[in-house]
Amino acid sequence: MKKSDVYPIFGSLNKTAEALGVTQQAVSNWPATLEQRHIDRLIGASLRVGKYKAMKRLVQANVNDQLDEG
C-alpha cells in the first residue's frame, strides 16, 4: 500500500499525522510503500476518527491486488 493512497482517507498529510498523534515530519519519513506496522497504526487511527470503513476498503483492495499479482 502506498503512503499517498492513505492521505485522501484522512483528508491530507496534516490530518493523517493529527489522527496518528504524530508530526507531519514523522509521517513524511515513512517509506513510500508502507510496512505492516504503519498500516496497523493507520487502521487504529481510522477507528479513532471514524474513517475505518474507507481504510478497510483500501486495505482490502491492496490485499486483492497482491493476490492477483502472486
CB-CB contact of 3 with 9 (8 Å): no
**pLDDT for residue 68 is more than 90:** no
> For the residues 5-32, what does the mean pLDDT come to?
96
Q: Supply the pLDDT for residue 51.
A: 96
Half-sphere exposure for 22 (CA within 13 Å, toward CB): 15
- DSSP letter (8 states) at residue 2: B
Q: Give domain limits for the chain.
A: 3-69
CB-CB contact of 33 with 2 (8 Å): yes
Cell representation of residue 29 = 519519513
What does residue 5 show for φ and ψ, rounded to 5 degrees?
A: -70, -20
CATH assignment of 3-69, among 1.10.260.40, 3.30.530.20, 1.10.287.3510, 1.10.1660.10: 1.10.260.40
Q: What value does the mean pLDDT of the chain take?
A: 92
**pLDDT for residue 13 is more than 60:** yes
> For the residues 27-52, what does the mean pLDDT come to?
96
Assign 70 a pLDDT band (cuts: 50, 70, 90): low
